[in-house]
Amino acid sequence: MPDLATRARTLMELHTAPEILVLTNVWDVVSAQVVAATAGVRALATASHGIAATFGYEDGENIPLDLHLDMVARIAAAVDLPVSMDMEAGYGDPGETTRRAIAAGVVGGNLEDQMRPLDDAVAAVEAVLRAGRDAGIDFVLNARTDAFVRTGPDADRSVVLAEAVRRCRAYLEAGAPVVFVPRVVDREEIAALVDGVGPGRLSLISVPGRSLPARELQDLGVARVSTGPFTQRVALTALQDAVVDMVAGGTLPAGTRELN
């Protein structure tokens, strides 16, 4: 078993460093090994959507937790880097799910609030952090609010942003070191979020063709950017494009590398 306390400290330090932490989400052992072997990669994050899709499940805690954790454990055992797990909303018991994730070799994780009453969401954050302390590590919780995920297209964005800030501040006050606000790509909204929660505390997801480059997010004060399900889609896009070329009478891409 790796020294989880050391990996947890490393992951925490990566969040507080001046450079933005770029986390490429992985979904199985070979994707984890390829990403981990890439120059500049300092930590990994799993993607619940990607792992669920690998086994034929829809995202949203439809994949059985035992199966989800088994893949995460295989990923953590296959690399020498800190691993953060997408725990979704905690599978009904965020504290117990965190304990099991740590036992699988994980030292950080995402937790969705799903816009539950704020007191309940804060209690879930506290349960995760308590599980980390009980295990003797500083678990790096990326506390996620779904304020923008669950808003309608006609909602007042300023109202949604204010609610996101309110929730993020509550999670930070409860001890979460970083807070995650998916579905935000606009420069002004990102700047307002950083202003609301403080520099070096905000985590975002990179959306193909829409998000700002990581360097610009760093300049805005964002602590972390991840890729969610999109890296698996990048891989599947390359696969489908190769198949299209083959079916059309062509051949596989000349630049294909032996990565496994």
Which domains are delineated in the chain? Answer: 4-247 (3.20.20.60)
What is the C-alpha R_g of the chain?
Answer: 18
Provide the pLDDT confidence category of residue 200 given band limits of 50, 70 and 90: very high
Cβ neighbors of 157 (< 8 A, separation 6 or more) are: 189
Structure tokens at 49: 């959507």
What local confidence, expressed as pLDDT, does residue 2 receive? Answer: 63
For residues 96 and 136, give the distance between their C-alpha atoms in angstroms, rounded to a whole number: 15
Q: Within 13 A of 190's CA, how many CA atoms are on the CB side?
A: 26
Question: Does pTM top 0.75 for this prediction?
Answer: yes
Asked if 144 and 182 touch (Cβ cutoff 8 Å), the reply is yes
Q: Provide the percentage of residues in the chain whose pLDDT is more than 90.
A: 97
- Check whether 157 has a pLDDT greater than 80: yes
Strands 25-26 and 83-86: unpaired
Q: How far is CA 3 from CA 158, 178, 191, 199, in A?
A: 44, 22, 37, 30
For residues 135 and 103, give the distance between their C-alpha atoms in angstroms, rounded to a whole number: 9
What does the pLDDT average to over 211-235? 97
Percentages of the chain per state (helix, strand, coil), in multiples of 5? 45, 10, 40
Across 76-124, the runs of DSSP E, i.e. the strands, are: 83-86, 108-112
What local confidence, expressed as pLDDT, does residue 152 receive? Answer: 85
What does the pLDDT average to over 230-258? 96
Q: Within 13 A of 243's CA, how many CA atoms are on the CB side?
A: 6
What does the pLDDT average to over 81-110? 98
What local confidence, expressed as pLDDT, does residue 153 receive? Answer: 85
Least confident interval from 112-121, 133-142, 149-158, 187-196: 149-158
What does the pLDDT average to over 189-208? 98
Cβ neighbors of 256 (< 8 A, separation 6 or more) are: none
More confident residue, 227 or 1: 227
Provide the pLDDT confidence category of residue 1 given band limits of 50, 70 and 90: very low
Q: pLDDT tens-digit profile of 18-76? A: 999 999 999 999 999 999 999 999 999 999 999 999 999 999 999 999 999 999 999 99
For residues 102 and 111, give the distance between their C-alpha atoms in angstroms, rounded to a whole number: 14
Least confident interval from 20-29, 131-140, 149-158: 149-158
Buried b / exposed e along 78-93 (16+ C-beta atoms within 10 A): bbebbbbbbbbbbbee
